[in-house]
Amino acid sequence: MNEVTVTRVGIIGVGLMGHGIAKNVLARGRFPLAFLDHPGNQPVDDLVGLGATACKTPADVAEASDIIILCVTGSPQVEAVLTGDAGALSRLRKGTIIVDCSTALPESTLRMAAAVRAAGGAFLDAPMTRTAKHAEDGALNLLVGGDETDFQNACAVLASFTERVERVGPVSFGHRLKLLHNYVSIGFMALLSEAAAQAADAGVDPAVFVDVLAKGGGAGAALQRMTPAIVTDDVGTVPFFIGNALKDIDYYRTMASASGASRTIADGVAGAIAAVVESGHGEAYIPELARFLRKPHPAA
């Protein structure tokens, strides 16, 4: 009788998004899971209760895994967990697939993919769209760059925590399209926040402001997501830190500069968000921009 091979999954980065990924890999996919024990993780008692194993270093995760999911902040962190001290590549098993779900710079992605291939593995960049709630619900969307065969070999694992997975081209195209997506999404919300701030300063009823936009050219996903913050001060609809938004816009600007593309509007968006971050609000959620961009009011 042939032995049944079970795909072993590792994850590095069990934060707001990674926790939901890990939970669904275990509960829906029923794959054995190893994770990197790290201070930035969300509470992991539920994962351990489902059978997950904590590892001390990225190398330990690599030794225990056939597919490794990265869900860290950005390119510096991806490079560190792969190539740093006790990095995953130091003990990568031949044929292991690295799936980078982070938001990263395409040029760094190409370098890391080459390093993974040199170590005997394969690399997919698979950045996520949607929110932490979608991650917990197993309903993320992924934009995947990489070889078709590697993509197919990883599909069963990816399906355990996603609603839609789309291969969008070769390695780095996932990250390139994610930066384009985030630039448009964050740019829309920043523009809408500035308009909402001006409307509020002028005494316009916020419900009327939203209604006028919804019936005209301002309608769309950004308005739907921002409406609770504008009308009722409910900022939890987009749980995405303003500091992370600035990082993504800066990544977009770097990508645009590398290709010689215009970035005039991106520079304006970055400047507006950077001023908010510099004033100490980097860990506020992005819908709060509508409040932070209001003009100063004299104390009562």
pLDDT, tens digit, 9 for 90 and up, residues 172-181: 999 999 999 9
Q: Residue 248: what pLDDT? A: 95
Cβ proximity of 9 and 34 under 8 Å: yes
Answer yes or no: is pLDDT of 300 > 80.
no
Cβ proximity of 120 and 92 under 8 Å: yes
HEC string of 190-240?
Answer: HHHHHHHHHHHHCCCCHHHHHHHHHCCCCCCHHHHHHHHHHHHCCCCCCCC
- Over residues 215-225, the mean pLDDT reads 95
- Over residues 158-164, the mean pLDDT reads 98
Residues in the chain: 300
What is the rounded CA–CA span in Å between residue 243 and residue 148? 34
Q: Residue 131: what pLDDT? A: 86
Q: Residue 299: what pLDDT? A: 55
- Active-site residue, 133 included: no
Selected catalytic residue, list 23, 133, 178, 215: 178
- Over residues 130-147, the mean pLDDT reads 95
Q: How far is CA 150 from CA 78, 144, 217, 261, 281, in A?
A: 19, 11, 42, 31, 41
User: Which domains are present in the chain?
Assistant: 9-171 (3.40.50.720), 176-292 (1.10.1040.10)
Answer yes or no: is pLDDT of 164 > 70.
yes
Q: Residue 83: what pLDDT? A: 98
What is the rounded CA–CA span in Å between residue 190 and residue 27? 37
The mean predicted confidence, pLDDT, of the chain is: 95
pLDDT band at 237 (very low <50, low <70, confident <90, very high): confident
Q: How far is CA 28 from CA 22, 31, 188, 212, 258, in A?
A: 10, 8, 35, 43, 40
What ranges in 66-105 are assigned the alpha helix state H? 75-83
What is the rounded CA–CA span in Å between residue 209 and residue 48? 48
Kind of pairing between the strands at 67-70 and 97-100: parallel
Provide, for the chain, the percentages of residues in helix, strand and coil under a 3-state DSSP scheme, each rounded to the nearest 5.
55, 15, 35
Q: What is the pTM of this model?
A: 0.90
pLDDT, tens digit, 9 for 90 and up, residues 80-135: 999 999 999 999 999 999 999 999 999 999 999 999 999 999 999 999 998 889 99
pLDDT, tens digit, 9 for 90 and up, residues 66-82: 999 999 999 999 999 99
